[in-house]
Amino acid sequence: MSRTKRSVPSFIEVNGVFLKAKDTANHFSNYFADKVDKIEHGLPKLGWYVIANDNQFYFEKQCVFEFQPVEPGEVEKLLTVLG
């Protein structure tokens, strides 16, 4: 087995323009982010999704809420209990 040194270019050519290392990283990052977006866009919508907040998971469904009018005294009483 022989060992040969192979150099890896630190640039890439995009549309005839040579990109620097940072630009190359950004190019590939954007490329794969676009791929993920296209895959997600093609997935069927489930009607629910998960929200992760403070290590707790909530399954949120599409709901319809009907609100009834309330008196200011009721709101004041509820806020006093919370305060």
3-state secondary structure string across 29-56: HHHHHHHHHHHHHHCCCCCEEEEEECCE
Q: Is the pTM higher than 0.75?
A: no
Q: From CA 4, how far away is CA 74, in angstroms rounded? A: 81
Structural domain contains residue 81: no
Structural domain contains residue 5: no
Structural domain contains residue 25: yes
Structural domain contains residue 47: yes
Structural domain contains residue 48: yes
Q: What pLDDT is attached to residue 33?
A: 92
Kind of pairing, strands 17-19 and 12-14? antiparallel
pLDDT tens across the length of the chain (83 residues): 566 676 666 667 778 887 787 887 888 889 999 999 898 888 777 655 555 565 555 556 666 778 889 898 998 888 888 87
Note down the domain range covering 64: 12-68
Total domains in the fold of the chain? 1
Grouping H, G, I as helix, E, B as strand and the rest as coil, residue 2 is coil
Q: What pLDDT is attached to residue 53?
A: 60
Structural domain contains residue 82: no
Q: What pLDDT is attached to residue 47?
A: 59
